[in-house]
């Protein structure tokens, strides 16, 4: 058995309010516990985007009733809500901006992004969905405004090279990678069909190898847990996104077992760096017990996520979450969530400091 600190996932989509048939805060946070996560930060691309104090407060209220692990939020902007930034800044971990097409379609153009950068309070980072060449342009714009940015889910050699260069030049930029971009390549996508469809797309093996070789230049592993139903995925127009909370840690532990990264580096990517970069409050009596030698097959029927499938179904992994303890209380053991909805606490960088 090994003991890990409660992991922090800075990138999840729990779809509530608006699309609770895909996921809600109970099923989403249950999936988090099953995956060894004790804090998750939820994205604003809901059916009605979280771009006002009212929608943010509504979401916080719902999550407080449903969550079984700790949770926080990002705010969203389409460039029209600049005057709300100061009102909501104590309630969130950052601002999420979409610069390429993805679920929700809440795209902002360069001009609007520049205006947003100038208005957003400097204390909190801006997270970007930006792909390919767009990354370099946005790093420039954010740099001119003196903003700190986090590039979500990098997927290719070109993207990571852009970020490595920007870091060398002194830009305040961090980046995250998902396990689907680390463990899948174009060959898997053919078999997966719509279940391998997400943004950014899965890349050729050459790119995947580059990400692994340069893992030291990546700051965070984020799940981008993006559940959609099996029916939606099988439809004529399958939506982008795959769930990831329950497979991220087992896949990474399998890689540790294969000497592809160290356990210390895993803890940095899934706990220490998320904590430091996003100022996530943590607790010393919050931890996870893992049987690092337990081998098992990922099976859809064993998942807690409401969507009930994984692009890694059928994969053999090594390393299983046995127990999760939050603030000294056992909340999960061997596949069972042991606490009631509402146990999880709402967190934000500013709130916990005053508590």
Nearer to ligand NCD, 26 or 195 (CB): 195
Residues that bind ligand NCD (CB under 6 A): 13, 45, 102-103, 129, 198-199, 224, 226, 240-241
- The distance of closest approach from Cβ of residue 246 to ligand NCD in the complex, given in angstroms and rounded to an integer, is 16
Q: Residue 286's binding partner, choosing from Zn ion, ligand NCD, none, with beta-carbon cut-off 5 to 8 A by kind?
A: none
- The distance of closest approach from Cβ of residue 22 to ligand NCD in the complex, given in angstroms and rounded to an integer, is 9
Q: Which range touches Zn ion (CB under 5 A), out of 17-25, 58-66, 125-133, 311-319?
A: 125-133
- The distance of closest approach from Cβ of residue 157 to ligand NCD in the complex, given in angstroms and rounded to an integer, is 20
Pairing verdict, β 220-221 and 173-177? parallel
Nearer to ligand NCD, 35 or 44 (CB): 44
Residue 330: its H or E element: strand 329-333
- The distance of closest approach from Cβ of residue 178 to ligand NCD in the complex, given in angstroms and rounded to an integer, is 8
What is the token pair recorded at 280? 């996530």
- The distance of closest approach from Cβ of residue 188 to ligand NCD in the complex, given in angstroms and rounded to an integer, is 16
Instruction: Give the count of residues interacting with Zn ion (CB under 5 A).
Output: 3
Point out the residue whose Cβ comes nearest to Zn ion.
129
Nearer to Zn ion, 91 or 129 (CB): 129
Point out the residue whose Cβ comes nearest to ligand NCD.
241
Q: Which of residues 90-109 bind Zn ion (CB under 5 A)?
A: 102
Sheet with 7-12, edge to edge strand ranges: 7-12, 37-42, 70-73
Coil/strand/helix, residue 206: helix
Nearer to ligand NCD, 230 or 297 (CB): 230
* Using rule CB under 5 A, residue 42 touches Zn ion: no
How far apart, in Å, are the Cα atoms of 344 and each of 66, 135, 292, 353? 8, 35, 26, 17
- The distance of closest approach from Cβ of residue 14 to Zn ion in the complex, given in angstroms and rounded to an integer, is 11
Could you give the residue ranges of the DSSP H alpha helices within the chain?
Answer: 25-34, 53-66, 85-88, 110-119, 133-144, 157-168, 179-183, 186-192, 205-213, 230-233, 248-257, 263-267, 273-278, 349-354
* Using rule CB under 5 A, residue 22 touches Zn ion: no
Residue 336: its H or E element: strand 336-337
- The distance of closest approach from Cβ of residue 262 to Zn ion in the complex, given in angstroms and rounded to an integer, is 27
* Using rule CB under 5 A, residue 129 touches Zn ion: yes
- The distance of closest approach from Cβ of residue 239 to ligand NCD in the complex, given in angstroms and rounded to an integer, is 6
Task: Return the bridge partners of 333, or none.
Answer: 323, 336
* Using rule CB under 5 A, residue 320 touches Zn ion: no
* Using rule CB under 5 A, residue 59 touches Zn ion: no
Q: Which range touches Zn ion (CB under 5 A), out of 109-117, 123-131, 261-269, 327-335?
A: 123-131
Pairing verdict, β 37-42 and 126-129? unpaired
Q: Residue 198's binding partner, choosing from ligand NCD, Zn ion, none, with beta-carbon cut-off 5 to 8 A by kind?
A: ligand NCD
Structure-token match 């999936």, residue found: 31
Coil/strand/helix, residue 278: helix
Coil/strand/helix, residue 141: helix
Coil/strand/helix, residue 217: helix
Q: Residue 240's binding partner, choosing from Zn ion, ligand NCD, none, with beta-carbon cut-off 5 to 8 A by kind?
A: ligand NCD
Angle at alpha carbon of residue 180, lines to 6 and 308, rounded to 5°: 75
The whole-angstrom separation of Cα 251 and Cα 236 is 31
Q: Which of residues 201-240 bind Zn ion (CB under 5 A)?
A: 224
Q: Residue 148's binding partner, choosing from ligand NCD, Zn ion, none, with beta-carbon cut-off 5 to 8 A by kind?
A: none
Nearer to Zn ion, 91 or 225 (CB): 225
Pairing verdict, β 37-42 and 2-5? unpaired
The whole-angstrom separation of Cα 221 and Cα 152 is 9
* Using rule CB under 5 A, residue 15 touches Zn ion: no
| Contacting positions for Zn ion (CB under 5 A) | 102, 129, 224
């Amino acid at each position: 058995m090994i003991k890990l600190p409660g992991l922090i996932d800075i990138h999840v989509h729990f779809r509530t309010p608006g699309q609770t048939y895909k996921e809600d805060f109970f099923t989403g946070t249950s999936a988090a516990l099953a995956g060894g996560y004790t804090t998750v930060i939820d994205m604003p691309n809901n059916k009605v985007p979280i771009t006002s104090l009212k929608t943010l407060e509504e979401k916080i209220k719902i999550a407080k009733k449903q969550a079984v692990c700790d949770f926080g939020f990002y705010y969203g902007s389409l460039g029209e809500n600049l005057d709300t930034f100061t009102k909501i800044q104590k309630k969130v971990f950052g601002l999420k901006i979409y610069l390429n097409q993805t679920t929700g379609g809440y795209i902002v153009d360069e001009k609007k992004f520049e205006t947003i950068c100038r208005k957003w309070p400097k204390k909190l980072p801006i997270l970007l969905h930006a792909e390919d060449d767009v990354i370099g342009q946005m790093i420039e714009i954010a740099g001119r405004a003196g903003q700190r940015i986090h590039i979500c889910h990098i997927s290719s050699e070109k993207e990571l090279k852009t970020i490595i260069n920007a870091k060398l030049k002194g830009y305040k930029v961090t980046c995250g990678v998902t396990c689907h971009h680390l463990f899948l390549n174009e060959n898997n996508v053919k078999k997966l069909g719509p279940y391998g469809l997400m943004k950014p797309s899965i890349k050729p093996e050459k790119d995947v190898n580059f990400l692994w070789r340069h893992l030291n230049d990546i700051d965070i592993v984020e799940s981008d847990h993006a559940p959609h139903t099996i029916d939606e995925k099988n439809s004529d127009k399958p939506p982008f996104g795959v769930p990831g909370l329950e497979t991220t840690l087992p896949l990474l532990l399998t890689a540790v077992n294969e000497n592809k990264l160290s356990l210390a580096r895993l803890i940095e990517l899934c706990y220490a760096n998320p904590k430091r970069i996003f100022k996530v409050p943590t607790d010393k009596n919050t931890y996870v017990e893992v049987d690092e030698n337990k081998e098992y097959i990922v099976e859809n029927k064993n998942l807690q996520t409401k969507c009930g499938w994984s692009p890694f179904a059928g994969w053999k992994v090594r390393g299983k979450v046995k127990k999760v303890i939050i603030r000294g209380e056992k909340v999960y053991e061997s596949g069972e969530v042991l606490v009631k909805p509402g146990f999880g606490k709402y967190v934000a960088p500013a709130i916990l400091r005053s508590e």
